[in-house]
Structure 1
């Protein structure tokens, strides 16, 4: 699951949302013979583009000329996730399920601000839209290599959701920016300005998808796995490697994923990883030895190993 928040897509977000709304209507213009994809939110599912523009543009009280007026949230399920949905639902049901998922994701978006009076999607002003296609851009490796041209349709199932959310809450009185990482100088300051943890929001989106659709996500498909490989310190990458080796032939994805999350937050040591495998029998773990150096083996097991060696030597004598 790839979830991203941008200030703008093809349009600037410090003025009217009209240009962005027009851009996101491209599929309805190109495929005018099919039933159009309407805009939706927690209130309804058949909003016209002019309604979206008018409502978003009218919710800008006390915002300056240089302030962001809205943000764009991209919700892009992976091919594995889309295949999983296709096995559970028919085509129209998949779209309805994605709309419902988007509403619940906006609940998480609202709660992430930790602001009084902003507790769910109902406290936000937002509109989502299902898109059926994706197009090659100049950054895609296929375009760079010359195999595809910019603007060509991508193959396969490319179902995804785009959401425009107002900078102001639904009452037009509270400023909400997902670009604000500050916790403030003190608790009172923090409560006044709020914060937004974009990494936590994306992780919530992944976890929400897994719970909602019973998706058995493999460790290497987890966002936390990619983050550790990309941004983790050497010790975290070593711990992740140890985790993969110790669970190489033990398919317990929930446990592996939980431990990986603790590695990402610095809450696990190599010893912890071994003993937190409590859901797996120690005997079963020992059937799948790792190549981890002896220094990394927990002290308890070292003592047992030395004791056993002493007994064996006594028998030999």
Structure 2
């Protein structure tokens, strides 16, 4: 699970949200241009799931009271499950079910986002102004190595499972009075600044979103898939890195041991014949067996008579 917070996909969050909203409408726009049979993906939040693009622009751009020209007006939250997680969701819920449940999960993520500020009056996603958009695909950009090498064209679809959600969230809360910045990571080192914009622990937020996913969908996450594992390998001390690597090795050893005990429990013959059709000879009744023995005895007497 990859959850990230940035200024904007288009690089500018100090003016209108119109450019970003238009960018995130690209799948709907492309399907319309190609005249494909495609159900549009509307924007959503806790109240509605059929929000139009113009409503998103108005909602974000009108919620900027007392923000100066150079201040951020909104942020972008990217929720990107891994291919393994997406395949798991689709196997459990189907294609459409996975989409709907991923949207509900996104609303829970924004609930955790609000609570992570630890500010009075900011108790959940109902205290935020935000709009989410599910995207079914990802597309190559000029930043991708494959484009620079000429292997693919800019705008081509990336292969594999790419479903993800982008959320535009206002810098101001729903009352349009409180400033909230998820890029403030002071954790109390600057008390005055934290009081103004809220103290936001991004590490705790990412861990919370991962825990939400696992508990909501019953996902059995391996250590190497966890945010803690990746974050420790990137930022941890040598001892911390060795510790998580050892935990991952132990988990893998337990997994292999379980697989081996499973095969042993089935028995050797069952394991060897697993998935293969077995020929079973038809049973013979006792009368046929006796006749065959009697005939064999007569043949023996005749052969002995000839030899004499």
Partner of 2:84: 80
What's the offset of the Cα at 1:245?
Answer: 3.8
**Equivalent in 226, 233, 244 of residue 240 of structure 1:** 244
CA displacement, residues 108-128 of structure 1 (integer Å, 9 cap, x when unaligned): 000010010001110000000
Pick the aligned partner of 2:224 from 220, 232, 239. Answer: 220
Residue in structure 2 matched with residue 24 of structure 1 by the alignment: 24
Q: Shift of the alpha carbon at 1:198? A: 1.3
Unpaired stretches in structure 1, ≥5 consecutive residues:
253-317
Cα pair distance change 1:185/1:157, threshold 3 Å? closer
Distance 2:229 2:14 in 1: 35
> Which sections of structure 2, spanning at least 5 residues, go unmatched?
257-308
In 1, the alpha carbon distance for the partners of 2:8 and 2:192 equals 31
- Using the alignment, how far apart are the partners of 1:186 and 1:133 within structure 2? 41
1:145-294 equivalences under 5 Å are: 145-184=149-188, 190-251=194-255
Q: Which residue of 1 aligns with 2:5?
A: 5
SS at match of 1:250: helix
1:164–1:213: structure 2 CA closer, same or farther, 3 Å change rule?
same
Q: Normalising by the residue count of structure 2, what TM-score does the alignment of the two structures yield? A: 0.77
SS in 1 for 2:253: coil
Measure the CA separation in 1 of the matches of 2:107 and 2:40.
20
1:288-317 Cα offsets, whole Å, 9 max, x none, are xxxxxxxxxxxxxxxxxxxxxxxxxxxxxx
Q: 1:245 to 1:45 in 2, by over 3 A?
A: closer
CA contact 1:135–1:151 (8 Å) conserved in 2:
yes
Taking the aligned partners of 2:197 and 2:44, their CA distance within structure 1 comes to 29
When the two structures are superposed, what TM-score results if normalisation uses the length of structure 1? Answer: 0.75
**Aligned runs of 1:49-198 on 2, under 5 Å?**
49-184=53-188, 190-198=194-202
Write the distance in 2 (CA, Å) between the matches of 1:200 and 1:248.
26
Larger Rg: 2
Q: CA deviation at 1:181?
A: 1.1
Q: Cα distance 1:162–1:235, how it changes in 2: closer, same or farther (>3 A)?
A: same
For 1:210-237, what per-residue CA distance to the aligned partner results, in whole angstroms no more than 9, with x for missing partners?
1111111111111111111111111111
Q: Cα offset for 1:200?
A: 1.5
Alpha-carbon offset, residue 186 of structure 1: 7.5
Conserved in 2, the CA contact under 8 Å of 1:184 and 1:193? no
